[in-house]
Amino acid sequence: MNGQRVRALRGATTLDHDDRQHLIERTQELMAAVFERNGLVEEDLISIVFTATDDVHAAFPAEAAREAGITHVPLLCARELEIDGGIGRCIRILVHAYTDRGARELRHVYLHEARQLRTDLPE
């Protein structure tokens, strides 16, 4: 891919309530922010792994990607570990993509209540 490297990007968001449309909106907001902040387009994507905490039941987070038109990229949903003191109604993503950016230039994205997971990152 023209000298590009495979990189991984992380992100997370939270839901105010377990509702399908809300989950789709928040997940699409997260994906859009990761793509925008890192200059990614769909053709750069290799795969996306989504996780959700045990209190998310309304929909698969990957549905948000499909509804956004991402159809040729492998997507996988899994359950997040249930850890005491963890954040509830949390959706996380791990995006694998081709990029010219170095590892220190990548912008991981944490939105809403998930910001507390990475207070070291700029908003």
Tens of pLDDT along the chain (123 residues) come to 567 899 999 999 999 999 999 999 999 999 999 999 999 999 999 999 999 999 999 999 999 999 999 999 999 999 999 889 889 999 999 999 999 999 999 999 999 999 888 766 666
Q: Out of 10, 101, 107, 115, which one is annotated catalytic?
A: 10
What secondary structure letter does DSSP report for 1? -
90 in active site:
no
CATH code of the domain in which 16 resides: 3.30.1330.40
In a domain, 123, yes or no: no
Please, are residues 56 and 31 in contact by the beta-carbon 8 Å criterion?
Answer: no
In a domain, 34, yes or no: yes
Q: Out of 37, 77, 101, 113, which one is annotated catalytic?
A: 77
Could you tell me the strand order of the sheet in which 45-52 lies? 75-79, 45-52, 90-99, 5-14, 109-110
Burial class (CB within 10 angstroms; exposed 0-12, middle 13-18, buried 19+) of 43 = exposed
In a domain, 109, yes or no: yes
98 in active site:
no
10 in active site:
yes
Q: Containing domain of residue 53, as a range?
A: 5-118
What is the tally of structural domains in the chain? Answer: 1
